[in-house]
Amino acid sequence: MPDTHNSTLALDLQNLLKTEHTAMRKLQHILNQETNLLTSGNELEELGQVTNEKDRLVEELKLLASQREQLFHTSDPSAADTDFESFLNTMPESATLLPLWHQLLSLTASCQELNQMNGAIIKGSEQQLRQAIGLLRNEQPVSANYTETGDTAAMQQSRFLGQA
C-alpha cells in the first residue's frame, strides 16, 4: 500500500517546483526585455514598468523558495544537513522531481547571468553619463592608477602649464 504522506508530499513538491519554474521563466522573459530596453536607451517609462515587474517576480520567487524549504524541512526534520537534491533522490518520485529541480536550477543560472549582464550595462551607462556631466562642467577626467596593493586609486590629471 503506497504511503499517502509521501505521495502528497511528492505532489506538493511537484506543483511547487512547476510554479517556481513558471515564475522563473517569466523572470527570464522580463530580464530579456530589460536588456533590450537598456541597450535601446529610449524607453525609460517602459524600463520602469519592467523593473517593477522584475522586483515583483523576485519577491514571488523568494516566497516560493521559502515554501519549498519549509515543505522540505517539515517533511523530514532530520534533513537539516541534507541538501534539497539529496532529499529528492531519496523519494520514490525522484524520476519526476529531479528533472524539474534541474530545470529550475538551469533557469536560475540563466537569470543570474542576464541580471549580471544588465547590471554591467547599467554601470557602463552610468560611467558614460558621469563623464558627459564632467565634460559639461569642464571637469578634468579622472584616470585610474594602481596602488602597490593592486587597488585602483583615482587621480586627477594635471595640466602642463609651462616651463621655468
- Classify residue 163: in a domain, yes or no: no
C-alpha–C-alpha distance, residues 119 and 125, integer Å: 10
Q: How many domains does the chain have?
A: 1
- Classify residue 164: in a domain, yes or no: no
What are residue 152's phi and psi, to 5 degrees?
Answer: -90, 145
The whole-model pTM stands at: 0.73
- Classify residue 58: in a domain, yes or no: yes
DSSP 27-43: HHHHHHHHHHHHHH---
- Classify residue 87: in a domain, yes or no: yes
- Classify residue 161: in a domain, yes or no: no
Query: Residue 13 carries which side chain, given as an amino acid letter?
Result: L
- Residue 77's contacts (CB-CB under 8 Å, 6 or more residues apart) are none
How would you write the pLDDT of the chain (164 residues) with one tens digit per residue?
445 667 899 999 999 999 999 999 999 999 999 999 988 877 778 988 999 999 999 999 999 999 999 988 888 777 667 788 998 998 899 999 999 999 999 999 999 999 999 988 888 766 666 777 767 777 665 555 666 676 666 555 544 445 55
- Classify residue 162: in a domain, yes or no: no
- Residue 142's contacts (CB-CB under 8 Å, 6 or more residues apart) are 154, 155, 156, 157
Residue 140 has a CB neighbour count (10 Å cut-off) of 10
Q: Largest Cα–Cα distance in the chain? A: 100
pLDDT at position 123, please? 82
Tell me which residue of 12, 4, 9, 57 sits closest to 30, measured CA to CA.
57
Range of the domain at 149: 4-156
- Classify residue 92: in a domain, yes or no: yes
Tell me which residue of 111, 134, 118, 139 sits closest to 20, measured CA to CA.
111
- Classify residue 130: in a domain, yes or no: yes
What CATH number does residue 98 fall under?
A: 1.20.58.300
